[in-house]
């Protein structure tokens, strides 16, 4: 993740092509219930107003660098598409016709897969990005972007790094080494 950008705009035609490529990511039952919404550099300040609050903007050390993102991609899902797909004849008996019965909501899984694919495509093309998880203000973001009937999964802030990144405190956590998080069964 990079959280300080230099305000270089990302061309939205180009970005939307990468978004469409990212949607080659696996999709449960090919439900295709993920949508990617692009926000231009010109609209990044308005996005910030919807996605954050004044106190955060005034106090967060990362706020200025993040606000210089060159574009944003809102990743959303349509849970009803998954309920409908898993209610089709070839999925009969899956017990997944009702979205409240899902132990792993596949719309979140699909959204994560498309997000990861997008991050890799951006990286490959020499751009940087960070993910904002959806933990506050999602209703405001959706209203601002005029998105209806969809859940916000995350916002991907895209841009060129300006070298003033404030590293995430999360990186200093004492976590098990990656190799130790892999286990062979048996």
Residues near ligand FMN (CB under 6 A) = 1, 3, 130-133, 154, 168, 170-171
Q: At what angle do helices 106-124 and 12-22 cross, to 10 degrees?
A: 130
Contact 115, 77 (CB under 8 A): no
Q: Indicate the residue among 92 and 175 with the shorter CB distance to ligand FMN.
A: 175
Distance, first Cα to last Cα, the chain:
36
Instruction: Give the nearest distance from C-beta 51 to ligand FMN in angstroms.
Output: 10
User: In Å, how far are 29, 76, 133, 140, 172 from 136, measured between CA atoms?
Assistant: 30, 15, 9, 9, 24
Which residue, 76 or 86, has its beta carbon nearer to ligand FMN? 76
Q: Which is nearer to ligand FMN, 76 or 130 (CB)?
A: 130
Least CB distance to ligand FMN at residue 122 (A): 13
Total residue length of the chain: 186
Q: 27 or 128: whose CB is closer to ligand FMN?
A: 128
Strands 151-159 and 71-77: antiparallel
Dist. CA 111–CA 26, nearest whole Å:
10
Whole-number Å distance between alpha carbons of 162 and 110: 31
**Minimum separation from the CB atom of position 155 to ligand FMN (A):** 8
Query: Minimal distance in Å, beta carbon 45 to ligand FMN?
Result: 19
Q: Which residue is nearest to ligand FMN (CB)?
A: 133
At closest approach, how far in Å is the CB of 95 from ligand FMN? Answer: 27
DSSP lists the bridge partners of residue 129 as 158
Q: What minimum distance in Å lies between the beta carbon of 139 and ligand FMN? A: 17
Cβ-based nearer residue to ligand FMN, 102 or 153:
153
Q: By C-beta, is 98 or 168 nearer to ligand FMN?
A: 168
Q: Which residue has the tokens 């998954």?
A: 82
């Amino acid at each position: 993740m990079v959280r300080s950008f230099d305000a270089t705009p990302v061309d939205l035609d180009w970005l939307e092509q990468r978004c469409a490529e990212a949607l080659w990511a696996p999709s449960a039952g090919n439900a295709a219930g993920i949508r990617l919404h692009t926000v231009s550099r010109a609209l990044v300040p308005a996005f910030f107003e919807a996605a954050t609050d004044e106190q955060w903007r005034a106090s967060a050390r990362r706020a200025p660098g993040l606000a210089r993102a060159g574009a944003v991609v809102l990743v959303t899902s349509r849970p009803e598409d998954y309920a409908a797909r898993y209610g089709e004849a070839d999925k009969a008996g899956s017990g997944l016709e009702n979205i409240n019965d899902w132990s792993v909501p596949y719309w979140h899984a699909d959204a994560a897969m498309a997000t990861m694919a997008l991050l890799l495509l951006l990286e490959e093309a020499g751009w940087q990005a960070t993910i904002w998880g959806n933990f506050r203000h999602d209703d405001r973001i959706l209203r601002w972007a005029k998105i209806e009937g969809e859940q916000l999964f995350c916002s991907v802030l895209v841009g060129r790094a300006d070298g003033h990144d404030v590293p995430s405190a999360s990186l200093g956590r004492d976590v098990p080494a990656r190799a130790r998080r892999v286990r062979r069964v048996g």
